[in-house]
Amino acid sequence: MTNLIAGLSDVMSAEIKNLDAIANNTANLNTPGFRAEYASLKNVDFLSQVQSKPAGEYVSGSLGAIQSDRTAVTQRTIQQNDGSIKSTGVNTHMALRGEAWFVVEKNSQLYLTRNGMFKVDSDGNLKTSAGESVVGEGGPIANLSGAFEVAGDGAIIMGGKEVGRLMIVAPTLGAQFTHLGNGLYQTSSFLEKASSNSYSVLSGVYETSNADTATDMIRLMQTTRHIETIQRSISAYDQLLNVGVNQLGK
């Protein structure tokens, strides 16, 4: 019985993390290129699985593990659907369509972003709004000394000639992402060059957050109700346990 309560407590903890993810989506509604994120659980038969295992033993879960140390049973997944497009008319601003990412460099480390509000610094280097270097297939994009255009496949055209090409990548299927703030993401997944027919680059625009307020409101209500149901279940099982102990003591 106590194992059952522990299992339910772990699920409630995971759902609280889902509330945190929803709140983060709301806070980033106006963040260019932000990817909405959710903490998800698959249905697990806790009544059979938790009761059949001794305390502390691993209990198989669809997206994690239930353990006596309250290990989280969540998997945070970002949404890959495109956000809306906003026009700026600035040729250094870019947006991606499709499940692909720009690559930027910061402190010799590579990161992913969908925030294409780039700029050219005084030395002709293409940078993010926060100052990270935008990476091309031959390294950081530099020497942009004049007006240029960006083709749909990421080629940078200046004076009628290709002077560089954006590095556009696609993580492997099922990749997990970590949002680092300022539009940067990190993944431990293998990155490969995105197929040219799987994305397109638009210039003079930027991509807004793909978080959807209506979807988040529905998830918020569903998650809150689920937490309340689990709380009532824990309370009921706890009362039954107390009754059993009292009866055994007579």
Domain count within the chain: 2
CA dist 163 and 141 (Å) reads: 9
138 and 166 housed in the same domain? yes
Question: Residues 184, 94: one domain?
Answer: yes
Same domain, 111 and 184: yes
State which residues form the domain around 157. Answer: 85-207
Is the per-residue pLDDT at 137 higher than 80?
yes
- Shared domain check, 147 and 104: yes
What mean pLDDT comes out for the span 209-225?
A: 89
* Long-range Cβ contacts of 146-154 (<8 Å, 24+ apart): 147/91, 148/91, 149/91, 149/203, 150/91, 150/94, 150/201, 150/203, 151/201, 152/200, 152/201, 152/202, 153/196, 153/200, 153/201, 154/201
Q: Please check whether residues 176 and 231 belong to one and the same domain.
A: no
Please tell me the predicted confidence (pLDDT) of residue 97. 97
Question: How many other CB atoms are there within 10 angstroms of residue 105's CB atom?
Answer: 16
Query: Is residue 201 located within the same domain as residue 105?
Result: yes
Q: Are residues 105 and 54 in the same domain?
A: no
Same structural domain, 90 and 182? yes
Q: pTM here?
A: 0.74
| Contacts of 15 by beta carbon, 8 Å cutoff, 6+ apart | 39, 41, 223, 226, 227, 230
184 within 8 A of 114, measured Cβ to Cβ: no
Question: Running DSSP on this structure, what letter comes out for residue 63?
Answer: S
Q: Are residues 101 and 132 in the same domain?
A: yes
Q: Both 132 and 72 in a single domain?
A: no
Pick 50 or 29 by higher pLDDT.
29
- Residues ≥6 apart with Cβ < 8 Å to 53: 3, 59
Residue 80 has pLDDT above 50, yes or no: yes
If asked whether residues 67 and 114 sit together in one domain, one would say: no
Spatial contact of 6 and 66, defined as CB atoms under 8 Å apart: yes
Give the per-residue pLDDT at 3.
Answer: 63
In the predicted structure, residue 32 carries a pLDDT above the cut 90: yes
Tokens at 123, concatenated: 């030395």
Query: Are 197 and 227 members of one domain?
Result: no
pLDDT tens digit sequence for 121-131: 999 999 999 99
φ and ψ at residue 231, rounded to 5 degrees: -60, -45
Residue at token pair 């495109």? 82
Encoding tokens for residue 37? 């994120």
For residue 79, pLDDT beyond 70:
yes
Enumerate residues 6+ apart whose C-beta is below 8 A from 194: 98, 99, 100, 101, 168, 169, 170
Beta-bridge mates of residue 156: 150, 164
Sign of the C-alpha dihedral computed for residues 187, 189, 194 and 197 taken in this order: negative
